[in-house]
Structure 1
Amino acid sequence: MIMAVIESFKFLPGLAECPLLVTCDGAGKVCDQVRPKRGFVTAELADKYAAYVHGLQDALGANRVLVLPEREGFGLAVKAAVARVTTPYVLLCQHDNMFVRPIDLERVIRIMEANQDDLKCVHFVSPKSTFEVEGNKDGGCNQGAAAPLSLKRIEDRLGRLAGSARDFGETKEDGAAQHAGAQSPSTFWPMPSWLERNHVCSTAHYRDFVLGPETKLKPGQFIEETFGQRMRQDLAAGGSHRPYGIYRLLDDPESATLHLDGRAFLPVLEQKRRGWRVTDLYQRLELRHSAWLAAEAGGCWSPGAPLPPWPPMPISGSAAGSSKNF
């Protein structure tokens, strides 16, 4: 499943050239109980997990896999990983959240660079936080301030404690453009709390503020239930959103990510070996990625433009599976 997520990075141009670090938590206490979320596993499960980690090291390289000696849980595992990041920005992805459409990540970074005091962390559109472009209920994408957005769905779910959507561009406060081909501003929605989803963040902000001294993490805890709750309480009491600087990019109403079911996930080849009806998701993503590359090469697609449509689902029979780890 991790390999499927890594393969989906191809939807973010330039990301393949960036350093990669996969963090593996410790297996937990070996005993007769099977309660992984509490840190209790049998010797058999611990051995299987160790073999899985070794497989990742063989596939990705030992220097790309950080193995924690003890079970720490999500929050402390992220903290251990961020402490090793040397780049000014870090993209954090969960092991079960893959990208399913293009994101102009390089432009997002340029906008963050030009608005460092306000825009410190950017999350992406997820299945439960989509929006609509007014006058285009069937889809389409946001073309900046000129396209009114309906944010009812995301605001109904997360609230409006942090205020309304804002436009940020690639221009600094002094009016100087960050990039020769700077485009019109993009729309970002201020998040009222932290969510454990794929996001890009200033490394210093992550290390010194999100995971700073005031964020007390215990083994097994999530950032969402510690820092996230403190943030929400602060905003509810009238605090400023600016120190947090956490936004969601509203670049396209279609979800940018897809959550994989970790309990039911099996590689395509293993599904075939068991005689299961194989999902065609990965094949459809591969076809869509190829169509996007062809459109981009032909000059008929640019960031912010509508994507090629999803390939149709098979009408009958066994769905075709892809042997690639997409």
Structure 2
Amino acid sequence: MAEAKTLLTVIITTSVTPTAPSTELISTALESFRSFCPDLLTCNVIVVLDGYDEIQANPRLKKGRVTPEQAKSYGIYKTNVKELIINQYGKHETHTDFSQSVGEAEFGGLRAGPNTVQFTTSVNLDKTISFIEPSKRIGFGLAVRTALRMTDTPYVWVHQHDWVLSAEIPLGALLDVMQASSSEPERPVKYVCLPSPRNLSYDTCAEVVEFPTLKTLTSSLKSEFSPQLYPDVKIALTPLFHWFDKPHIASKAHYMERVFPSRLSMLRGDFIEDKIGHFCRNQSKDGQWSKWATWLFSPGEGQTPCVTHLHGRVWVGKEAEDKKIAEWRSKGLANAPKPAPKPEPAYDTGIFQSDSEE
């Protein structure tokens, strides 16, 4: 029986956050691995510590602009993250002896210049732990592509630092289903997204049932798969007509072919779901879903969320968040600030709010 660690590499992306130099955000994510999918802590791991562009008085983290204090804190944060990852994933001395090299992340066309960002890689002797540090901000999309190019396993788990697992993930069984699907061209499984609260009852939501092609595909393909190596486990999957950035498992080869076919496919700062999500959606409506082969894990009849978003750009740590909630409650729930309503993704136009931007 092939173990997850021989099939899958964990890719974690992180960047400047208000809580730096504390690693509480990413530590919370790793602790959720331990609670709900401990196999992830046995796999190879690649951590991308994205850079920033400018130091100025008014921060705009989304645009790569940080204050002098944030820049200082982020340098300490990167050191702290490396120590955290080594402590979590390191098993023996070869995990702590690293060699360095440099590379370039290219993007866009060549007319306006070379369009590259230099990065440094640090890889331990047995290549089980890798760190990628761009000299400037490259964004989530290019961070994933850079990590994929260093990946030796056929599958990857992609995880942004501000998502945490909230339900058990049968990783081995999911990988078994994905491997077995290679012999079933009518229902390939090359990407499996984990559901957040916004994805519950996806198979019956308006974005599916109001489109005949998508409704028919869902009716014919939604299934409980039976992994050969895990006969006591049932894997409920429903077709997903989008490519989300939230935690997911995917075939490396499929990722490179479908999302990163050339340097033109992703610009610096792009999120993948913003850039190509609408292509997946529109081509699925045209009957080309199989070229994307995207699925949503749907345990509990589609009613069990498996991941939660901590909103890293505004999250100030669990203690501070708990204190803020307690203050609201002490004044009465009616006085608590109400978040702005979250619009549903406008799939038809390709303009939508990504989970990364929430």
Structure 2 length normalisation: TM-score?
Answer: 0.63
Are 2:155 and 1:89 aligned?
A: yes
> Which residue of the other structure, out of 25, 34, 41, is the alignment partner of 1:16?
41
Contact 1:169/1:183, CA 8 A, preserved across alignment: no
The equivalent of 1:74 in structure 2 is: 140
Please point out which of 191, 194, 197 is paired with 1:121. 191
Query: Given that residues 159 and 247 in structure 2 are in contact (C-alpha distance below 8 angstroms), is that contact kept between their aligned partners in structure 1?
Result: yes
Aligned-residue CA RMSD (Å): 2.8
| 1:6-60 deviations in Å (ceiling 9; x for gaps) | 1111211422211122211112223444222122223332222111111111222
Offset of 1:277 from its aligned partner? 6.4
- What do residues 238-284 of structure 1 show as CA deviations (whole Å, max 9, x unaligned)? 1411111110011222211111132443445x649xx93688xxxxx
Q: Taking structure 1 as reference, are residues 186 and 45 closer, same or farther at Cα in structure 2, changes over 3 Å only?
A: closer
Equivalents in 2 of 1:67, 1:158: separation in Å? Answer: 44
Matching residue of 2:251: 202
Aligned-partner SS, 2:199: coil
Aligned with residue 152 of structure 1, among 185, 197, 204: 204
Q: Which has the higher helix share?
A: 2
Contact 1:217–1:226 (8 Å) recurs in 2: yes
| Residue 251, structure 1, aligned to residue 299, structure 2 | yes
- Please state which structure has a larger fraction of its residues in strand: 2
Shift of 1:205: 1.0
8 A contact 2:236–2:298 mirrored in 1 = yes
Structure 1 residue matching 2:231: 3-state secondary structure? coil
Letter aligned with residue 80 of structure 2:
G
Q: Which amino acid is 1:240 matched to?
A: Q
Q: 1:232 to 1:161 in 2, by over 3 A?
A: farther
Provide the residue aligned with 1:293 in structure 2. none
Distance, in Å, in 2 between the alignment partners of 1:223 and 1:277 is: 33
Once residues 297 and 57 of structure 2 are traced to their aligned partners in structure 1, the CA distance between those partners, rounded to angstroms, is 46
The answer to whether 1:56 aligns with 2:90 is no
Shift of 1:196: 1.5
| CA 1:260–1:70: 2 relative to 1, 3 Å | same
Q: Is 2:259–2:265's contact at 8 Å kept on the other side of the alignment?
A: no
Q: Match of 1:276?
A: 323
Partners of 2:49 and 2:134 within 8 A in 1: yes
Q: Please tell me whether the aligned partners of residues 34 and 42 of structure 1 are also in contact (alpha carbons under 8 angstroms).
A: yes
The aligned amino acid for 2:204 is K
How far is 1:224 from its partner? 1.0
Provide the residue aligned with 1:321 in structure 2.
none
**In 1: Cα distance, 2:206 partner to 2:166 partner:** 20
Matched letter for residue 31 of structure 2:
E
Tell me which of 13, 31, 49 is aligned to 1:7: 31
Whole-angstrom distance in 2 between the partners of 1:169 and 1:125: 17
Matched residue of 2:28: which SS? Answer: helix
Relative to 1, partners in 2 of residues 1:263 and 1:35: Cα closer, same or farther, differing over 3 Å?
closer
One-letter amino acid of the structure 1 residue matched with residue 280 of structure 2: M
Asked if the contact 1:23/1:66 (under 8 Å) is kept, the reply is yes
Aligned residues: 250
Residue 156 of structure 1 deviates from its aligned partner by: 6.2
Amino acid of the structure 2 residue aligned with 1:202: S
Do the aligned residues in 1 keep the contact of 2:55 with 2:68 (CA within 8 Å)? yes
Question: What residue in structure 2 maps to residue 308 of structure 1?
Answer: none
Structure 2 residue aligned with 1:291: none
Structure 1, unaligned stretches of length 5 or more?
A: 132-149, 172-177, 280-326
Q: 1:298 is matched with which residue?
A: none
Give the match for residue 105 of structure 2.
none
Higher relative contact order by CA 8 Å / sep ≥ 6: 1 or 2? 1
> Normalised by the size of structure 1, how large is the TM-score?
0.68
Q: Which residue of 2 aligns with 1:107?
A: 173
| Equivalence for 2:266 | 217
2:141/2:271 contact within 8 Å kept:
yes
Matches of 1:33 and 1:157 in 2, distance apart? 45
Aligned with 2:61 (options 20, 33, 36): 36
Show the counterpart of 1:260.
310
Letter in 1 for 2:171: L
CA distance in 2, matches of 1:186, 1:32: 50
Identity over the aligned pairs, expressed in percent? 26
User: Is 1:189 aligned to residue 238 of structure 2?
Assistant: yes
Corresponding letter in the other structure for 2:154:
P
Provide the C-alpha distance between the structure 2 equivalents of 1:44 and 1:92, rounded to a whole number of angstroms: 29
Q: Secondary structure at the match of 2:296?
A: strand
